[in-house]
């Protein structure tokens, strides 16, 4: 079902006599070789056809992490011993003639807000600095059951509460394209190590842009699925309460096809998360682009994009028009209010409950970044229940207005953010905060959204765009992202 690109097949399989020769092949941009530059889909096929062993794939990725992580600080728990054991077992299973699994022997990394049995899971907070879960999060368990091999855990901001990654447990994660800039948040560690070639596929989360913003900052492909598609069981903190539906377990990779490969593996009810719906998944490779109708906008009315990002959105719109889509420049209704609607629902008690929760798990000292988050997003506290109810009523009205708009279109194209990755420590600057609505918009609606790289800024930083589709139509979002990747270049490795 899942195709592997011609480029990946040539790079990984064509004319390669042995896996050892592949691993020792001349370094590409950023010091990667053919294995660490390959997609998860291509690695799965190479292992399945026994052109390379899982042990060799794991070893070369561990070596890549060792080479880049001192500069990035992306991988915060390395599970090298268990990864080697699991790779040996995967190779032995193939040698016995057992049928390969969809991700048989493919290395992956996991965001440090998703629990992993026997491996420390901190959520970026001091109170859990030594916390070892007894069970995997549902999505992690499903990746393992499909044959994936976990290499380690990746860094996050405290409680995943910022669009840059820094905490008092592990420190700051750097962007592989420019170490002086953030890799984003809250899935910043995932984005950094996947972009740098240390992992082909990552599992993250997205409650307000947390997978798509790091993908944009680090030049990757990412999928925030429909709300209700992937269980959040084992996510820390566990999504609960009235804002439950903005939280999404999500996927990040260098290629869109890898998102399509992994989505059916992690999706579907687990009978632990009551919000998950058993909706069929459709094949993105079966989506015909000609005749689809797309709306696009490059300015949400709240934060104007850089000229380069506006140009990238328009280039993406042209690529769709050339593929036979009907393309219209129309902004989502009330798009300029998305950030205000989102933050009005987070104020509540002004952060008192969050502080009490942190104390309850043993966190007596909060990171400066999370203090900024509480001060920016949780203040001022709401005056009372009437104001709180009004905030959630505005959310309902926002969702209804946007859904009515979507009735006339198959998808909506826009920036992920109106700027490229900023310098460390600046994500809460007022000018940057005004730009968060582009990503938060689709957490409010719950629509599936794919981010993909389509260009490069004058500073050499990646530029991504996002395409959102109807609820439960991840196939359309993935197919459109795949077309942009093919038309406009997609991932380009950093020089690290």
Tell me which of 5, 39, 41, 186 is the catalytic residue: 186
Q: Is 303 noted as a catalytic residue in this protein?
A: no
Compute the half-sphere exposure of residue 206: CA atoms within 13 Å on the CB side of its CA: 37
Alpha-carbon torsion angle 414, 418, 421, 427, nearest 10: -120
Q: What would the two tokens of residue 384 be?
A: 């009372």
Sign, CA torsion 465/468/474/480: negative
* 215, HSE (Cβ side, Cα atoms, 13 Å): 38
The pair phi, psi for residue 475, each rounded to 5°, is -60, -40
Which residue reads 């380069």 in tokens? Answer: 308
Catalytic residue flag (residue 250): no
134 by Cβ neighbours in 10 Å (0-12 / 13-18 / 19+) ranks as exposed
Q: Is 373 a catalytic residue?
A: no
Q: 490 near 452, Cβ under 8 Å?
A: yes
- Residue 15: left if φ>0, alpha if ψ -120 to 50, beta else—which one? left
Q: CB within 8 A of 99, min separation 6: which ones?
A: none
Contact (Cβ atoms closer than 8 angstroms) between residue 54 and residue 149: yes
d(CA 450, CA 452): 7
Distance between CA atoms of residues 201 and 87, nearest Å: 16
Q: Answer yes or no: are the C-beta atoms of 223 and 450 closer than 8 Å.
A: yes
Residue 264: name the closest of 274, 253, 251, 248 by CA.
251
- Catalytic-role residue among 111, 303, 367, 427: 111
Q: Which two tokens stand for residue 278?
A: 């058993």
- Among 199, 210, 227, 414, which one carries the catalytic annotation? 210
Torsion sign, CA atoms 78, 79, 80, 81? positive
Q: How many CB atoms lie within 10 A of CB 396?
A: 10
The answer to whether the beta carbons of residues 254 and 220 sit under 8 Å apart is yes
State how far the alpha carbon of 137 is from the alpha carbons of 66, 231, 270, 358, in Å. 26, 9, 11, 21
Q: What is the CA radius of gyration of the chain?
A: 21
Q: Which of 436, 399, 493, 445 shows the shortest CA–CA distance to 224?
A: 445
Can you tell me the distance from the alpha carbon of 29 to that of 496, in angstroms, rounded to the nearest whole number? 8
Residues labelled catalytic: 111, 186, 210
């Amino acid at each position: 079902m899942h195709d592997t690109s011609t480029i990946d097949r040539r790079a990984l399989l064509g004319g390669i006599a042995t896996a050892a020769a592949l691993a020792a092949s001349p370094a590409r941009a950023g010091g990667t070789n053919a294995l660490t530059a390959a997609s998860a889909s291509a690695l799965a096929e190479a292992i399945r056809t026994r052109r390379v062993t899982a042990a060799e794939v794991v070893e070369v990725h561990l070596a890549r992490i060792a080479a880049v992580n001192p500069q990035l600080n992306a991988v915060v728990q390395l599970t090298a011993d268990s990864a080697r054991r699991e790779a040996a077992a995967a190779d032995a299973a193939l040698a016995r003639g057992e049928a390969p699994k969809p991700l048989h022997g493919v290395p992956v990394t996991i965001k440090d807000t998703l629990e992993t049995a026997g491996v420390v899971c901190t959520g970026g907070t001091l109170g859990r600095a030594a916390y070892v879960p007894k069970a995997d999060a549902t999505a992690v368990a499903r990746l393992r059951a499909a044959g994936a091999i976990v290499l380690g855990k990746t860094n996050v901001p405290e409680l995943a509460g910022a669009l840059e990654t820094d905490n008092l447990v592990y420190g700051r994660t750097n962007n592989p394209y420019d170490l002086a800039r953030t890799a984003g948040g809250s899935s910043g560690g995932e984005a950094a190590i996947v972009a740098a070639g240390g992992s082909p596929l990552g599992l993250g989360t997205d409650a307000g842009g947390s997978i798509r913003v790091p993908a944009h900052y680090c030049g990757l492909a990412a999928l925030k699925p429909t709300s209700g598609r992937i269980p959040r069981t084992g996510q820390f903190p566990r999504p609960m309460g009235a804002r439950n539906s903005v939280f999404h377990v999500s996927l990040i990779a260098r290629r869109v096809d890898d998102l399509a490969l992994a989505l059916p593996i992690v999706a579907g009810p687990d009978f632990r998360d009551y919000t998950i719906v058993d909706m069929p998944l459709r094949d993105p490779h079966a989506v015909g682009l000609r005749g689809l109708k797309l709306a696009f906008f490059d300015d949400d009315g709240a934060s104007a994009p850089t000229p380069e990002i506006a140009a990238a959105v328009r280039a993406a719109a042209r690529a769709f028009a050339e593929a036979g889509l009907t393309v219209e420049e129309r902004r989502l209704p009330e798009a300029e209010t998305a950030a205000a609607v989102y933050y009005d629902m987070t104020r509540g008690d002004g952060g008192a409950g969050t502080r009490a929760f942190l104390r309850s798990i043993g966190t007596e000292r909060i990171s400066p970044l999370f203090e900024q988050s509480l001060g920016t997003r949780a203040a001022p506290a709401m005056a009372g229940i009437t104001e709180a109810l009004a905030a959630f009523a505005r959310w309902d009205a926002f969702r209804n207005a946007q859904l009515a708009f979507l009735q006339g279109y198959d998808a909506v194209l826009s920036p992920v953010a109106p700027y490229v990755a900023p310098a460390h420590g600046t994500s809460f600057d007022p000018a940057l905060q005004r730009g968060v609505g582009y990503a938060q918009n689709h957490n409010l609606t719950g629509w599936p959204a794919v981010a993909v790289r389509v260009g490069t800024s004058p500073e050499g930083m990646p530029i991504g765009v996002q395409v959102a589709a109807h609820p439960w139509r991840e196939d359309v979002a993935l197919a459109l992202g795949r077309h942009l990747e093919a038309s406009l270049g997609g991932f380009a490795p950093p020089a690290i």
